[in-house]
Structure 1
Amino acid sequence: MSELDAKVTRLTIDIVLKLAVIIALLAWSFSIVSPFILLLVWAGILAVALYPLQQKLTSKLSKQGLSSSIVVLVLISILVVPLILFGNSTFDSVHEVYQKANSGQLTIPSANENVKSWPLIGEKIYQLWRDAEQHTQVFIQEYKPEISEGLKRIVGAAAGTLGTMLMLIVSLIIAAVFMTNSQSISNASSKFLNRMMSDNSGSSASKGERTKQTIVATVRSVATGVLGIALIQAILLGLGMVVAGIPAAGILALVVLIFAIAQLPVLIIMLPLAGYYFSVADTTPAVLFLIYSVVISISDAFLKPMFLGRGMDIPMPVILLGAIGGMLLHGIIGLFVGAVILALSYELMIDWLNIDQEKDA
């Protein structure tokens, strides 16, 4: 073997060994942080979305840490009250139904004739409701396994929602740390993106900086225009259901949240609930609940143009697929993260495709 061949061999072995060590360290590091990745991603999304609000407060208080803490504490307080109300409402409703069913005291409200007019399923639901009303105990015995399984799923969903809310609270605390150290994190992300995109042009409008701006704009647009509005609708409609005394208000509020994030009409849920409320309540509170439900349900029509967009043009199917796919992959928290990540991927792809066109122009 010649001296040149020996040097090439040693160099090859050296490179292979270094790569092996680097890959092993990266794989090991990933396995260590993988349980926290979703939490950190969600915290980062919250930090980017809340940063403008935190900066406005910082300009008055002149302290990054204090302003970050105030923003997060206010948001946690806003979340905790509905969380307690929804949780208590759901568990109390399930417990009451379970106790009355076992003691033979469960009564079913009179079937509403208007249910018959519902398309496709109206007749079947009305007949099932009528059978349950007239032969309650027979109905319970006949469908006992299904009722028990349904109650278990409701409790499980409520527990999962509580866990998600706790995860959200922890993410908000981490987001406060991110916002407090925003400058150093911003500098580090710029260096990373410039390095990843091999931007050596030295121009002020670098590819890395352009990508960072796209990421920030997309996250804020989706977080405020989709997630924020969906959360507001779910909280307000959930509180309305709690005040009206509708059973399992917490679970229904969660369903409203899922529909709102997936960009589906919330009225699909609220109109049947309003119809049900007409059958169990007096006319005046039922009419008020219907008006309240319709107003809050359609509020996104004028709220979204105010918050969603701002230079973004994200198709509804992208948000829908991101929300549903995220939920299937990561549970309830995936509703939020999935919508943002897929919207971000879409915007980055469009931005990348348009770079050459802008150069030619």
Structure 2
Amino acid sequence: MKNLQRGTDLPQVLFTLMFILVMIAACLWVVQPFILGFTWACMVVIATWPLMLKLQKLLWGRRSLAVFAMTILLLLLFIFPIALLVSSLIDNSAPLIAWISKGHVELPELLWLQEVPYFGDKLYHSYHTLVAGGGAAIMAKVQPYLGRTTGFFVSQAGHFGRFFIHLAVMLLFSVLLYWRGERVAYGIRHFACRMGGRRGDAAVLLAGQAIRSVALGVVVTALVQAVLGGVGLAVAGVPYATLLTVVIFMCCLVQIGPLLVLIPAIIWLYYSGDTTWGTVLIVWSCVVATLDNVLRPMLIRMGADLPIILILSGVIGGLVAFGMIGLFIGPVVLAVSYRLVTVWIHEVPEPSLDASQVIEALNDHDE
């Protein structure tokens, strides 16, 4: 009899591959509503896992009590403040956008410049010379873009219902991950070992370090600076303090710092004649602005050091791609990729610094 067995059955391989791809696409389609919430929950749980273990030791080794305590902490310190900030942003931004779009934005007189000793009069006259020479025309051209830019950021936060659903899903998955965190981590590491051996396992561990670095070193620092800056604005009597707190939080996430919001607030206080609170806010702004130099290094030691340009790109790209949740997910995705690529590159020896020796060795090899 003839051997009917073939070396390679190409149709079988193609149909098998098509079936696998269809199953993967179907699974992604089913879990698509939960992907962002699950990703966010993973970030939160990985960043706060050591805290949960400490609480478990304090609560007589009971995992259920530790999970309940972490759920309360997430509600009080994370979900409620974010929901309140987004809600306040939506409520307070509508009149602000209308005010900017209708042409009510005018350059201030800055009469208080005349009271500055030594060079105040010179600054005052130079400023009004600039305004008279085209400042109003510049403001008229810039004003439509101010309204569009403000409207874009508000529209990203305007999907409050969807955002709140993601928060609820995140809380649910966080509870499940806290409850079975070791088993889930072991399953992910096992899958990584099946895919890439020891390198796959190391990749998962490095990803965890990068997530903790972003969550603790960047997000927590930005949140602390935003809260302290918002308290200073509210105490000083600056209007729209809650809305400005959200802006401070975004500025701190992209590593710009809180002074972009606090300095105009100080100028407004002096412009309105409240010099006492303006001086107090100057001192408080110095404290808030320098806080990241102390707090961020302490927190980032728990993870991996990351370039600022990476965080900036992740925040802006994540905001455009995913909306408000992208402020947290974007930097994490880039940080994990950066850490994995960095480790992969350093698996080989570094090139020689002397280029002439490299070229000479190449020429000798060709001969």
Q: Please indicate, yes or no, whether the TM-score normalized by the shorter chain is above 0.5.
A: yes
Kindly indicate whether the alpha-carbon contact (under 8 Å) linking 2:157 and 2:323 is maintained by their aligned counterparts in 1: no
Identity in percent:
26
Q: Give the distance between the partners of 1:88 and 1:223, measured in 2 at CA.
A: 24
With normalisation by structure 1, the TM-score equals 0.77
Structure 1 residues without counterparts, runs of 5 or longer:
133-138, 200-205
Correspondence 1:69 to 2:68: yes
CA 344–81 in structure 1, closer or farther in 2 if over 3 Å, else same: closer
Alpha-carbon contact 2:34-2:169 (below 8 Å) kept: no
Residue number among 44, 47, 50 corresponding to 2:48 in the alignment: 50
Residue in structure 1 matching 2:11, options 13, 16, 22: 13
**Cα shift at 1:319:** 1.4
* CA deviation vs aligned residue, 1:114-156 (integer Å, no higher than 9, x gap): 6877x99995599979xx9xxxxxx9xxx99999878866864
Contact 1:72 1:173 in 2 (8 A): no
Q: C-alpha distance in 2, partners of 1:224/1:283?
A: 37
Structure 2 residue aligned with 1:187 = 186
Could you tell me whether the CA contact under 8 Å between 1:218 and 1:343 is conserved in 2? Answer: yes
Please tell me whether residue 23 in structure 1 is matched to residue 21 in structure 2.
yes
Partner of 2:231: 239
Q: Contact 2:258–2:288 (CA<8 Å) still a contact in 1?
A: no
Residue of structure 2 equivalent to 1:344:
336
Equivalence map 1:279-318=2 (5 Å): 279-280=271-272, 282-310=274-302, 312-318=304-310
Shift of 1:10: 8.3
Q: Contact (CA 8 Å) 1:76, 1:169: kept in 2 or not? A: no
How far, CA to CA, are the matches of 2:268 and 2:344 in structure 1?
51
- CA spacing shift, 1:23–1:239, aligned 2, 3 Å: same
1:219 maps to what in 2?
211
1:226 deviation in Å?
Answer: 0.7
Q: How big is the alpha-carbon RMSD for the aligned residues of Structure 1 and Structure 2? A: 4.1
Q: Deviations over 1:265-317 (max 9, x none)?
A: 32122111211122235222222222222211221011111111457232111
Secondary structure of 2:309's aligned partner: helix
User: Are 2:251 and 1:253 aligned?
Assistant: no
Counterpart CA distance in 1 for 2:182 and 2:127 is 57
- Report if the CA contact (8 A) 1:322-1:340 is conserved: yes
Structure 2 unaligned blocks of 5 or more: 114-122, 351-367
**Distance in 2 separating the partners of 1:297 and 1:215:** 30
- Aligned AA (2:181): S
Instruction: Look up the match of 1:173.
Output: 172
Q: Give the letter aligned to residue 15 of structure 1.
A: V
Cα distance change of structure 1 residues 233 and 125 upon mapping to structure 2, 3 Å threshold: farther
* Greater displacement, 17-26 / 244-253: 244-253
Inter-CA distance 324–276: structure 2 relative to 1 (3 Å threshold):
same
d(CA) in 2 for partners of 1:185 and 1:56? 19
Work out the CA distance in 2 between the residues paired with 1:45 and 1:34. 18
Number of residue equivalences = 336
Q: Partners in 2 of 1:151 and 1:323 — Cα distance?
A: 17
In the alignment, is the contact (CA less than 8 A) between 1:222 and 1:343 conserved in 2? yes
Q: Deviations over 1:56-115 (max 9, x none)?
A: 11112222233123123223212425753774587368559979xx9xxx9999742468
CA distance in 2, matches of 1:151, 1:319: 22
CA contact (8 A) 2:89 2:154 kept: no
* Counterpart contact for 1:211–1:348, Cα < 8 Å: yes
CA gap of 1:158–1:291, structure 2 versus 1, over 3 A, is farther
1:331 is paired with a residue whose SS is helix
Matches within 5 A, 1:76-155: 76-79=75-78, 80-81=80-81, 83-84=83-84, 87-88=87-88, 91=91, 111-113=109-111, 123-124=130-131
SS at match of 1:7: coil
Matched, 1:270 2:262: yes
Structure 2 length-normalised TM: 0.76
Give the whole-Å Cα distance in 1 for the aligned partners of 2:90 and 2:18.
Answer: 53
Equivalent in the alignment of 1:136: none
Give the aligned partner of residue 35 of structure 2.
37
**Secondary structure in structure 1 of the residue aligned to 2:287:** helix
